[in-house]
Amino acid sequence: MDDLPGYDAAPRRLQAAAVPRALASAVPPADGTAEPLAAGWVWLAYVAILGSLALADYYSVGGITRHVVNLIEQHRALRLVVYPSLMWMLMGALLILFRTIVWMFYRPAAPATRAEAPRLTVVIPAYNEGAMVLKSIQSVVEADYPHDRLEILVIDDGSRDDTWRYIQEAALRYPGLVTALRHEQNRGKRAALAWGFQRAKGDILVTIDSDSVIERGALLALAGPFRDQRIGAVAGKVLVYNRQGFIPRMLHVRYVLSFDLLRSVESAYGTVFCCPGALTALRAQAVRQVLQRWQEQRFLGSRCTFGEDRALTNYLLEAGYDTVYQRSAVVRTIVPTVYPKLCRMLIRWDRSYVREELRFARIVWRRPRWARLIALYDRAITNLRYPVQYASLVLLVGMTAEDPHVLLRMLTGMGLVALINMLYYLRSERSLDFVYGALYTYFAFFTLFWIFPYAALSVRARAWLTR
């Protein structure tokens, strides 16, 4: 590898046999994130969940099915909703089976050793972060990485509080290691990152949010996959820093499922769809190829100001690079603790999701054959959940008006699906917080159902919302 001394692995070609090779070479992780489930309460939880599935199947699924059949007999037009939904459920079940198999055999790449560690630049954009930015910087300084090959650039994006003071304090405390940069006026996270990328001297660029702290081995872990010249970006594992309160605990479970399950699977075919700004490593050479287009990105005539991580991931995939996930690179980030802030965060995420899903629909055809086929199947099933869910919601209202017991059966069915997901969580983390993951299903159903339609209708908006 020309730009990474000591990294000379041959490029990986994800062609016809690549996916079988990826699955065959994978073994259960040895990094401690998914320890053997030896604790007795974990096994009891497994038995209780599986028992609940068996006992509730007839009451919830069977009862709803009978009502649907009766409605179809009375209103044949409902077939236009029910039959496609059943087909989607079948295809979705096959996708879940595929994901489960790949996830169970996933393992992270070997971390880089200190001797082979490439030159690395960490870029931390900050806006009105206060003392938390110092904790973020400190976690990078204390990481296990040779300081003579490490550079930390911290950009204050026109903060109106004391963020700049804390950044200067870090620069004075660690001269030659931490460089303080400042925008006099707020220009947005994308502009702050771009300035850092342009100033960076490293062969690998790492982005860390200023409200996040990394674990000690995260940087070496992120550097490991870049032995493969086809890798353009490596996504870290994001967990919740402030795990106090109802919403943060629910989000922690959702983050574990999102990163440890979905990104593990996407990594098997080199197409992680979003490498998060909270912790991602990027090949500097690849970033320079797409930097200008990423900075100037527009959608429907409006300049893109958020979703910079998903956008950059798409640009790298479009340029022919692979994106992978590294479970052993862990970051903990602050999440919203109250409902209004959670809604604003999810609206921003869904707006960028809509925009970048449309872009990926064009990019996917440039991916290698196996990656293309799996990605198309994955995105089709994933995105069809929206019309299916909202059509089912309308159907549910009609069925509930006829028989109020249908709602109870539907809620029971939702609980079954939530419990199945919790089996994944329990394999990753032996924690009673799995209960909060089940509760999130109902929380989202009753309080967050409006987020995606609103985000889709306001996709051209530019406001960051949570700043």
305: pLDDT strictly greater than 70:
yes
Residues 6+ apart with CB under 8 A from 185: 158
pLDDT above 90 (res 91):
no
Contacting residues for 146 by C-beta, under 8 A, at least 6 apart: 114, 117
- Which CATH number does the domain housing residue 198 bear? 3.90.550.10
Q: pLDDT per residue over 124-158, tens digit each?
A: 999 999 999 999 999 999 999 999 999 999 999 99
pLDDT digits (tens, 9 = 90+) for 323-382: 999 999 999 999 999 999 999 999 999 999 999 999 999 999 999 999 999 999 999 999
* pLDDT at residue 301, as a whole number: 85
3-class secondary structure, 24? helix
- Give the tokens for residue 420: 């199945």
Give the Cα separation of 30 and 338 in Å (integer): 36
Percentage of the chain beyond pLDDT 90 is 61
| Nearest Cα residue to 124 out of 175, 171, 173, 185 | 171
Here the contacts of 15-20 (C-beta below 8 Å, separation 24 or greater) are 15/368, 15/369, 15/370, 16/369, 16/370, 18/269, 18/368, 18/370, 18/371, 19/268, 19/269, 19/370, 19/374
Q: What is the mean pLDDT of residues 61-68?
A: 54
Q: For 254-291, write each residue's pLDDT tens digit.
A: 999 888 889 999 999 999 999 999 999 999 999 999 99
Burial of residue 117 (number of CB atoms within 10 Å: 0-12, 13-18, 19+): buried
Domain that holds residue 437: 1-467
Q: How many domains does the chain have?
A: 1
As beta bridge partners, residue 208 has 279
pLDDT in tens, 202-253: 999 999 999 999 999 999 999 999 999 999 999 999 999 999 999 999 999 9
Exposure string for 299-318, b = 16+ CB within 10 A, e = fewer: beeeebbbbbbbbbbbbbbb
Say how far apart CA 372 and CA 366 lie, in whole Å: 8
| Residue 411 reports pLDDT greater than 90 | no
H/E segment holding residue 75: none
- Asked whether the beta carbons of 425 and 257 are under 8 A apart, the reply is yes
Q: Distance between CA atoms of 91 and 87, rounded to whole angstroms? A: 6
pLDDT digits (tens, 9 = 90+) for 171-184: 999 999 999 999 99
Q: Is the pLDDT of residue 406 over 90?
A: no
